[in-house]
Amino acid sequence: MNCGYPKEEKLKSRNAIDELFRSGKSVSIYPLRLVYRKSSDEREKLQFGVSVSKRNFKKAVDRNYIKRVLREAYRLNKSGLDGASAFDFMLIYQTKERIPFDELKSKTRELFEKFASKELNVK
């Protein structure tokens, strides 16, 4: 599987994000939460976004670092989302501490496995 993060996979539509938070489901593994929903339009690609609270990280430099690390963890672990085409995802970072990359990568993998077992019926 391609391990890139192309433009088509980026969740940027304001309407899609609003609908995601309004009617989406979620799974959590501390310090991450994955909000997801089946896409309403007819596309075959999944779309993915990340979010870091300004309340927890006041400096933009820190928020941007965490977002960059989350996108990299997604890129390396997105093979765990095989079969999840036409979904919208938002990965939310929920703590005030900076977690090391290796730990975030493993937590992301666990989170995707939890999503797959819940939604895609993969054991």
Which residue type, as a one-letter code, is found at position 50?
V
Does 57 reside within a domain? Answer: yes
C-alpha 77/C-alpha 110 separation (Å) is: 10
Q: Which residue range is the domain that position 41 belongs to?
A: 7-108
pTM, 2 dp: 0.88
2 within a domain of the structure (yes/no): no
Q: Is residue 77 part of a domain?
A: yes
Burial of 22 (0-12, 13-18, 19+ CB in 10 A): exposed
Task: Establish if 102 belongs to a structural domain.
Answer: yes
CATH number at residue 27: 3.30.230.10
For the purposes of burial, counting CB atoms within 10 Å of the CB of 113, is it exposed (0-12), middle (13-18) or buried (19 or more)? middle
**57-67 confidence digits (pLDDT tens):** 999 999 999 99
Residue 17 lies in a domain: yes
Per the structure, the count of domains in the chain is: 1
Which tokens go with 5? 């993060």
User: In tens digits, what is the pLDDT along the chain, a chain of 123 residues?
Assistant: 567 888 888 999 899 899 999 999 999 999 999 999 988 777 778 899 999 999 999 999 999 999 999 999 999 998 888 777 788 999 999 999 999 999 999 999 999 999 988 887 755
Does residue 68 lie in a domain region? yes
117 occurs within a structural domain: no
